[in-house]
Each structure stands twice: as structure tokens, then as C-alpha cells.
Amino acid sequence: MTNPQRAPHLPLGEKRGGRLYGQHILSVKQFSREDIEAIFVIAEEMRTMVERVGTFDLLKGKLLASLFYEPSTRTSSSFTAAMERLGGSVIPISEVRYSSVSKGESLPDTVRTLECYSDVIVLRHPEVGAAATAARYVRKPIINAGDGIGEHPTQALLDLFTIREELGNLDGLTVTMLGDLKNGRTVHSLSRLLTLFHARINLVSPEMLRMPPEIMEELAAKGVTLSEHRELESVLPNTDVLYVTRVQKERFADEADYLAHKDAYVITPATLTQAKQKMIVMHPLPRVGEISMDVDDDPRAAYFRQMEYGLYVRMALLAMVLGKA
Ligand code: ASP
């Protein structure tokens, strides 16, 4: 681990050690391949335990503060489900307008408050770098659940886990990312993680929604084979993972630009006739038209299974940062 922000405060009686114990999870850049393998071993164990017993007491007595300044369905509910399946409890603050944030309280003061009551803080915020800022003010682990157009590290870990579970391996795959690559934080994180696995990455987007050049430079410097396209057709036949994203309406200053791009790509059963039989279609969700519902019954449509994998990965992460894995 290279994360320098190891929380210095070890609660008394806590089992010490473990790869992520006491760590903030701010960016995928902090993970090595070994870290990821360790997370996935524990995620597999979590899956077995959930299937066998549903809920168990690994994190009994632990509290998670769930602080969301932006909307969420899957991330917030899967962290809550993860904590409760591990026997812990959650302080949910999803409507910050009903909290003291609406009175003008700063992010540092809000997280300093929550660390008095909880053992780990899950934070989603519209500003890039907000989780890293919050982490400077608290000793308890902060988990970045999305910082604006920055990163979404736990999503990328569950995306990678999905690929491994569905395709059986992670090395040397051709991953095609489609849609709003400029504003989509999930692709910013996933593409960085894929640099550890010798991936070939095809970036397919409208000109206006290209992957930010600084991220492309970062990927290229790590030796990834990258190519950019405006159309899906030429790259689909060789694709192992088609990762579809929503055009991120909330990030557009001009609604006309959003309207001009929102239907740039729509995946239908006809699209998939050009794809391999052994490949998967992923989407972080919510989808708003970019994958037609007729695709859902295709066995290659992995986006609903992807959500379930997210539960096991988030259970693993919580157990690890709290020193119980
Ligand atoms: N749910 C994902 C996110 O929070 C993807 C999206 O909103 O399009 O980034």
C-alpha cells in the first residue's frame, strides 16, 4: 500500500495488521495488484457467508456514517446492506439539506462530527478531491463513494471483481468503455485499475465527452494499449468487456449540449449480434436509455449481477478497514 494517510489512531483491543486496516480508501491509485487479490479473496468469503447464513456478527458494535451530498441508490444501499450483513449499524445522512450542512457547516466540521460517533465514514460529494480533503481532518477511515467527476474507487473494485467472476480472469482483456468518458468517474477509476492487468482499452465517446487527456497520459505511461473511437462498430467484435456509461446530465453547464449527446449510443440486441459469445456488458447504473431493456435477458448482460458483486466487495472493504478480516 502506498497510501500515506494511514489513520494513526488504533482503537484499544482492535486486532492490528491487515492490508487495509485503518486506511482511507480515496483513489484506486493506492492499490497494488496484491491488495486487489486480497480484497477479492475476502469478497469471495463474504459471498459464501451471505449465501450460507445471510447475516453474521463480524462487525457487531461498529458504526458506519453514510454521508451523501449527491444522489445514490446502489452505493448507499449496498454499503448499508454490507454493514448490516456484518452485524454493524449505520448512521444515514443522505439528505444533507436536513443536516447542519444546510446551515453552512463545512465538510471538515461535518466529518469531524461524524467521526465522534462512528468507526468509518462513507462519503459522496460533488467536488473532485472532497474525500481526500475530508481525510485530512479525521482519524477514522474515509471511504470515497464518488467525488464529483473524480473517482469512484469502490465501484471500480466491484467492476473488476465482476469481470473476474464472469470471465474467469483479469489479464490481457480488451475493455471497451462507451459513453461519457469525460464526466464518468467510474471509468476514470476502472481504467486506472486496469493498468495493473495488462488490459487493452478502447475509448468510444463523442468528441465532447472524451476521456480527459491527463488520464489518457497516465494510462499510456503505465503501458496500456489505448485507442480512441467515435463509433463502437469497429471495436465491438474484439471486445471482452463492454462498459457502458450514462451521459452525466448533472455535469453539463448547458442543457442543449446534454440533449445533443444523451442518445449518442444505444445498445440493443442488434448491436450484440456483432459481439463475441464470451463477453460481458457492464454498466454502473443508473441507465437512462443507453442500454435497451431488450438486452437484459441476454446472458452477456452482467449489469444486474454486477450490483450483487458490489455487496460482497463492500463487505470485504469494511471488514478490512476495520481490522476484522
Ligand atoms: N452510479 C454511478 C456513479 O455514481 C454512475 C452514474 O451515476 O452514472 O458514478
Pocket test for ligand 1, best of 143, 155, 258 (most atoms within 8 A of CB): 155
Tell me which residue of 167, 151, 293, 152 sits closest to 239, measured CA to CA: 167
pLDDT of residue 240: 98
Alpha helices, H only, the chain? 33-53, 74-85, 107-117, 130-135, 153-167, 185-194, 213-221, 255-261, 269-272, 303-321
Question: Contact at 8 Å (CB) between 231 and 203?
Answer: no
Closest residue by Cα to atom 4, ligand 1, is 146
Which ligand 1 atom is nearest residue 245's CA? 8
Q: Is the CB of 185 under 6 A from ligand 1?
A: yes
Phi, psi of 67 (to 5 degrees): -115, 105
- The tens digit of pLDDT for each residue in 92-123 reads 998 777 677 777 889 999 999 999 999 999 99
Q: Is the CB of 152 under 6 A from ligand 1?
A: yes
Q: Is the CB of 186 under 6 A from ligand 1?
A: yes
Q: What is the DSSP string of 58-124?
A: TTTT-EEEEEESS--SHHHHHHHHHHHHTT-EEEEE--GGGSGGGGT--HHHHHHHHHHH-SEEEEE
Q: Is the CB of 153 under 6 A from ligand 1?
A: no
What is the distance between the alpha carbons of residues 260 and 90, in angstroms, rounded to a whole number? 41
pLDDT of residue 17: 52
pLDDT of residue 19: 84
pLDDT of residue 94: 82
Q: Is the CB of 284 under 6 A from ligand 1?
A: yes
Pocket test for ligand 1, best of 147, 185, 249, 288 (most atoms within 8 A of CB): 185
Q: How many residues does the chain have?
A: 325
- The tens digit of pLDDT for each residue in 4-50 reads 444 444 444 344 458 899 999 999 999 999 999 999 999 999 999 99
Q: Is the CB of 246 under 6 A from ligand 1?
A: yes
What the block records as the C-alpha cell of 50 is 451471505
Whole-number Å distance, alpha carbon 42 to ligand 1 midpoint, is: 25
Residues of the chain scoring pLDDT < 70: 1-17, 98
pLDDT of residue 48: 98
CA angle in degrees (0–180, nearest 5) for 221-163-192 = 20
Question: Contact at 8 Å (CB) between 302 and 263?
Answer: no
What is the distance between the alpha carbons of residues 202 and 257, in angstroms, rounded to a whole number? 24
Strands across the sheet with 89-93, in order?
Answer: 89-93, 63-68, 120-125, 142-147
Whole-number Å distance, alpha carbon 122 to ligand 1 midpoint, is: 15
Which ligand 1 atom is nearest residue 180's CA? 8
Which ligand 1 atom is nearest residue 246's CA? 8
pTM of the model: 0.94
Q: Cis omega (within 30 of 0) on the bond before 299?
A: no
Whole-number Å distance, alpha carbon 262 to ligand 1 midpoint, is: 15
Q: What residues have CB less than 8 Å from 53, skipping those under 6 apart?
A: none
